[in-house]
Amino acid sequence: MTPDAHGMLTQAYARLADDPEAALPLFERAVQMDSSNTLALRQVGSLYISLGRPEDAVKAFRAAYLHRPSDTLALQLAYLSSSLGHQEEAFTIFQRLRQSDAPDIRESARPAATVLALMLCADQYPWWTRAQAYPFYDSRFENYVVSLSLYGGRYLEANRVTSLYGVLSVVTDTRSEGGAFPVIFSDNYALAGGGFRFTPIVGLTADVQFGLAVNLLDRPTSQTVQGDVRAVASYGGGLYAPLHMPERVHVHGTPFADFYSSFGYYTRYENAIGYLQGKAGLRVLEYMYSCADVYLRLDASVDTRADFFNNIAEGGAGLRIVPNPWWGIALALEWRRGFYWKTEQAGNPYDRYYSSVRFYLLFDRSLCW
């Protein structure tokens, strides 16, 4: 460092506590005199942040990192880049910092890299894809039910509000039987279709979908192949527990809550059906990429035809394990107590009140290209 640069830095630090804004040009001049002074560059970057100039701060931190790389500086640069919307750059830095020698740097970078990876995957443009699978076992009917869906679409605008999409889906179970006297525990069909999706705000989606459904059970009142039209609006959201991904088992009680609702008309059932579900609980354990949650939940459904099986209310408790958020997989074990809430129970062969234990293997995530 030259004597002039040293003198300028002395003046800058003298002004820093009382008048940061006046200190900034002094630090800038010190950097001009000695562009390899990483301490001055980092101080300039910090002042840019405090004065609302994040883009300039990124440039200062990048210059400091080039002269003297450090994981601490890289982490600061990654967070700053992410806040400015430079997600790919931030993700690249966070990914590298997952292998840092410093445990605190690794623990900061690990969840940030995972969240950004999921975000970048979900925000692909103009094409998007999503896969969902919800197989579960229901102890009440000793039945395995499987629901699989694969969506692929193309956004019509850069704001990702509207899109056209195609869908393939299958729903089946192990207890239902066809024939002259069918016994139905779950609908059984394979569907191919397409539609228009409108997403004006985060969490709110409206779909209008047209397709063909193939009935997987022989039922005397239904054709094997049927047209399938559905118009469904859904809305969901929540307060989610943040990811920490510690390198040691961490037991705590971070609260979370979420809900999902939908209402739509389905030509397959000649019926309009609404669903509402909500959960509230605690994230009780985390280790590396895995976490465990306990929660209470409420579910309700209603329809316009007053079918007993579409008019229920349930409450219960559950345990959910997420092996790795990037996989999009969760395991859940739930106990539920429910009842058919319509006063009129015509056609209902079951007790009005019931209990059930259900085990779910859930998969839901965007697919990256």
105-129 residue pLDDT tens: 999 999 999 999 999 999 889 999 9
Name the residue ranges covered by the structural domains of the chain.
Answer: 3-122, 127-366
pTM of the model: 0.86
Query: In terms of Cα–Cα distance, which of 262, 357, 355 is closest to 310?
Result: 262
Q: Is 190 exposed, middle or buried (0-12, 13-18, 19+ CB in 10 A)?
A: middle
pLDDT at 4: 61
Looking from the CA of 175 toward its CB, the CA atoms found within 13 Å total: 14
List alpha helices for the chain, DSSP H. Answer: 3-16, 20-33, 38-50, 54-67, 71-83, 87-97, 103-122
Provide CATH code, domain 127-366: 2.40.230
pLDDT at 38: 83
- Answer for the pair 365, 130: CB distance below 8 angstroms, yes or no: yes
- For 73, 76, 171, the CA distances from 65, given in Å and listed in that order, are 7, 10, 54
36 phi and psi, to 5 degrees? -95, 5
Positions in the chain short of pLDDT 50:
none
**Domain 3-122 listed as CATH 1.10.10.10:** no
CA angle, residues 270, 303, 305, in degrees to nearest 5: 55
pLDDT at 6: 65
